[in-house]
Amino acid sequence: MKNSASRRAAAWLACLALGAAGMARANDADGVKIGVLTDMAGVTADATGKGSVEAARMAIEEMGGKVLGKPVALVVGDHQHKPDIGSSMARQWYDADGVDVIVDVPNSSVALAVQAVAREKKKLVMFSSPGTTALTQAQCSPYGVQWTYTTYALSRGTANAVVQEGNKTWFILASDYAFGKQLAADTSAVVAANGGKVVDTVYHPLNASDFASFLLQAQASKAQIVAVANAGGDTIMAIKQAAEFGIGQGGQKLAAMLLLLTDVHSLGLQAAQSTYLTVPSYWDMNDGTRAFSKQFQARVGHPPTFLQAGVYGAVRHYLKSVRAAGTTDSEAVMAKMKSLPIDDAFSLNAHIRADGLVVRDMLLAQVKAPGQSSQPWDYYRVVRTIAGQALAWPLPESQCPLVKP
């Protein structure tokens, strides 16, 4: 089944590549080119993948398909969650294929590798899906933007709320790569700052199928909260198996540190209900998000996850900035991206800081019970809006070399 999915994804990518090449040949070869580097068949494919590509396409269409009188072409690649593949593809795109900006890049390890290439080539990259804070902290770049979220933001939003409800002891189950390790570290810091204690942290391999040993450790820890710090298919599998092990029935509670709309759909409201989560956006926030999501769902089959909404917003802002700068020159476009207001419907009070981080208001939400949902994909109850400044590290404390002391 997995091989079949991979073959279908490969065939789809080949068709897209041919279409993009045809577009470039049929139009001006020097037109603006955007590369969507994503996950087409792995653990985050539902939350990014084809939906990220369609989100980018919708942003291009909204801008008229052209900028500075030149066509906007789209190319797509699958990094397979491997940093060497991601960095090689980025190098090929920048050096040989004329790609002006890369977007999406789920998987923090891949993102850090791509950031290094973009810095070397002085080319732009806008990260919609990775959460590691290293992208805009110690390994920041004058050519990189962390668009949607960070592990720091999600952990502060969710862990603050859960600890303040009196849940002081935590066990963290995290994925064993840069994203999971950073999310676990950020969650631990927030728990400790609120007077709680992390009794243990364990790491599982990416794309794990068996969480039994980890969940037995969680039960033995007697921690009040079992925090799941991973993404996509790993999150779904961990929460499903936690239910099978009776976590929740024995008095422990689950907290998902990154939970996406597609994850909740796969789990079902019965299993996911009452879970607190922090989200940068939600399809049902306002008239603008609802209108976009209706069109998106007609193409993809579900409303956008906040990662896919991030791709849309990033591509839209990039094209607006190219138009305002009158050029695709990386330095000029980055200066415009930092000075222009971010005004897509999914971005609340957002702006790009000197370190490349997009500071934005986010939503503390809670998954609805089955009886509270009034329509398909009506999964979240918004508890409150969290100010972006509360979810971003203070600039004076930044490790980013771009930030002047």
Q: For residue range 347-405, what is the model confidence (pLDDT) as tens digits? A: 999 999 999 999 999 999 999 999 999 999 999 999 999 999 999 999 999 999 999 77
Q: pLDDT by residue (tens digit) across 93-152? A: 999 999 999 999 999 999 999 999 999 999 999 999 999 999 999 999 999 999 999 999
Residues 213 and 156 in one domain: yes
| Whole-angstrom Cα Rg for the chain | 20
Q: Within this chain, do residues 120 and 205 fall inside the same structural domain, yes or no? A: no
Query: From CA 346, how far away is CA 315, in angstroms rounded?
Result: 13
Nearest to 157 by CA among 333, 383, 320, 335: 383
Q: What is the CATH number of the domain that holds 97?
A: 3.40.50.2300
Q: What is the pLDDT of residue 276?
A: 87
Q: Are strands 225-229 and 169-175 parallel, antiparallel or unpaired?
A: parallel
Amino acid identity, residue 234?
Answer: D
Whether 3 maps to a domain, the answer reads: no
Average pLDDT on 16-44 reads 68
| pLDDT beyond 50 at 5 | no
Q: Quick one: pLDDT band at residue 18, thresholds 50, 70, 90?
A: very low
Residue 2 included in any domain: no
Closest CA to 148 of 74, 231, 207, 88: 231
Number of domains the chain contains: 2
Written as one string, the DSSP assignment of 34-49 is: EEEEE-SSSTTTTTSH
Q: Which residues of 180-204 are buried (b: 16+ CB within 10 A; e: fewer)?
A: bbbbbbbbbebbeeeebebeebbbb
Q: Do 204 and 324 share a domain, yes or no?
A: no
pLDDT of residue 8: 47
Residue 381 forms part of a structural domain:
yes
Q: Indicate the pLDDT class of residue 200, thresholds 50, 70 and 90.
A: very high
Confidence of residue 13 (pLDDT cuts 50, 70, 90): low
pLDDT at residue 14, as a whole number: 45
Whole-number Å distance between alpha carbons of 205 and 195: 30
Same domain, 171 and 272: yes
Do 127 and 175 have their domain in common? no
Query: Does residue 6 fall inside a structural domain?
Result: no
Residue 240 domain flag: yes
Average pLDDT of the segment spanning 273-287:
94
Based on the fold, state whether residues 275 and 169 are members of the same structural domain: yes
Structural domain span for residue 49? 32-149+285-360
Whether 3 shows a pLDDT value over 80: the answer reads: no
Average pLDDT over residues 257-284: 93
Q: What angle in degrees, to the nearest 10, is found between the helix axes of 287-300 and 49-62?
A: 120
Nearest C-alpha neighbor of 226 from the set 165, 167, 172, 276: 172
Q: What is the 3-state secondary structure (H, E, C) of 252-300?
A: CEEEECCCCHHHHHHHCHHHHCCCEEEECCCCCCCHHHHHHHHHHHHHH
Does 229 lie in the same domain as 164? yes
Provide the residue type at 223 as one letter: A
pLDDT of residue 4: 44
End-to-end CA, the chain: 53
Q: How far apart are CA 218 and CA 204, in angstroms?
A: 13
* 139 within a domain of the structure (yes/no): yes
Q: How far apart are CA 340 and CA 358, in angstroms?
A: 12
Backbone φ, ψ for residue 219 (5° rounding): -65, -45
CA distance readout (Å), 257 to 155, 241, 347: 6, 17, 21
pLDDT in tens, 71-87: 999 999 999 999 999 99
Residue 375 domain-assigned (yes or no): yes
Helix (H, G, I), strand (E, B) or coil at 383: strand
Q: What percent of the chain has pLDDT over 70?
A: 93
Q: Is the pLDDT of residue 67 over 50?
A: yes
Distance CA 136, CA 143 (A): 11
- The more confidently predicted of residues 347 and 209 is 347
Give the other-Cβ count within 10 Å of 88's Cβ: 16
pLDDT attached to residue 404: 79
Q: Which pLDDT band, with edges at 50, 70 and 90, does 220 fall under?
A: very high
Average pLDDT across the chain, whole number: 91
Query: Furthest-apart CA pair in the chain: how many Å?
Result: 64
Q: Are residues 145 and 292 in the same domain?
A: yes
Give dist(CA 38, CA 77) in Å, integer.
6
**Is 246 part of a structural domain of the chain?**
yes
Clarify whether residues 156 and 144 are in a common domain.
Answer: no
pLDDT at 272: 87
Q: Which residue is listed with tokens 């029935």?
A: 249
Question: For the residues 323-340, what does the mean pLDDT come to?
Answer: 98
Do residues 160 and 141 both lie within one domain?
A: no
* Residue 174 sits in the same domain as residue 145: no
> What integer pLDDT is reported at residue 397 of this predicted model?
92
Q: Which of 151-155, 172-176, 253-257 has the lowest mean pLDDT?
A: 253-257
Residues 91 and 105 in one domain: yes
pLDDT band for position 179 (cuts 50, 70, 90): confident
Lowest mean pLDDT among 10-19, 88-97, 278-287: 10-19
